[in-house]
Amino acid sequence: KVIFLMGPTAIGKTQISLCLAKKIKAEIINCDSMQIYRQLNISSSKPSKKARKEIVHHLFDFVSPRRAYSAYQFALAARQKIKEITERDKIPLFVGGSGLYMKAIIDGLFPDTKADLKLRRSLNKISESDLFKRLKKVDPQSARVIHPHNKRRIIRALEVYIKNKKTFSYLKKNTESIENKYIIKIFALNMEREALYERINRRVDEMFKKGLLAEAKKLYSQRISKTARTALGIRELFDYLKGRASLEETRCLVKQNSRRYAKRQLTWFRADKRITWIKIQPNYKPQQIVKKIIKGIS
């Protein structure tokens, strides 16, 4: 089995996941697009160091904020973790709020290899037979299914190989769904909108108390990637540091954007009919939710 515990920001996934992992002998894998980054600790609401010692956690804090990192790259790393964890007779438990990451892991994504017109023109000058010989050498599997006279497809396969350093056939294999290999169970948490928004507002206040501004200042002095820059709180505080808003205005904007983000998360998850929804109350106990999830797993 592979379990996903998803839901909007600030709903309390971390505490529930720790309780669940202990009950089902699971190891937790991050499924949040910002918690992969080092230095984005408060802004991404990562599990505490104590929590990560309590239960084995994977794919947190492993990417420099200077680097852009794609859902495709994450899916490859996550699928490898699934293999390793299941071989240890443990259950992989993905926890987070990124619907795209979840989809990439389960259904697969093909890397976004943009057309390189310069490379294509260069390859197009080479004869069909020589191109096909080159393809047979670097990607024999693709050469077996592409016709020797289909120059366009031969060039595309070579372009993908040159740009990704991996063969077209390898990349295609990794876009296949894992649902035929594992029993996938997806659970998503939700609560009444007003209660969720109140939790989000409190979460943002706590983030500022813990030092969100200091975290943003450290990142501001670096050239961080466009991906890392989208972290809630970071982009708004960068504007504050540029003198475009007061600190109180910035705090209100972080709350507003966090609420909007939660709404987008829920919209994404509602479109996936594989998800089992669990409605929770504001003052829930993690153990109560874990019982429902375990019932849904069995």
pLDDT 10s digits, 104-130 = 999 988 776 667 888 989 999 999 999
Q: Are 245 and 253 in contact (CB under 8 A)?
A: yes
What is the rounded CA–CA span in Å between residue 125 and residue 268? Answer: 45
Using CA of residue 240, residue 245, residue 248, residue 252, what is the dihedral sign? negative
57-58/26-30 β-pairing: parallel
**CA 189 to the chain's CA centroid:** 17
pLDDT 10s digits, 137-169 = 999 998 998 989 889 889 988 988 998 888 888
What pLDDT shows up at residue 298?
Answer: 86
What pLDDT shows up at residue 239?
Answer: 96
Q: How many CB atoms lie within 10 A of CB 261?
A: 17
Phi-psi region of 5 (alpha: psi -120 to 50; beta: other; left: phi over 0): beta
What pLDDT shows up at residue 58?
Answer: 98
The single-letter DSSP state of residue 146 is S
Measure CA of the first residue to CA of the last residue in the chain; give whole Å. 10
Q: At what angle do helices 247-270 and 234-241 cross, to 10 degrees?
A: 160
What pLDDT shows up at residue 153?
Answer: 86
**DSSP 3-state assignment of 279?**
strand
Q: What is the mean pLDDT of each run of 10 residues along the chain (298 residues)?
A: 98 97 98 97 95 96 94 94 98 97 92 78 93 94 89 89 85 84 97 97 98 97 92 96 97 98 97 97 93 95
Say which residue the tokens 């206040």 belong to: 205
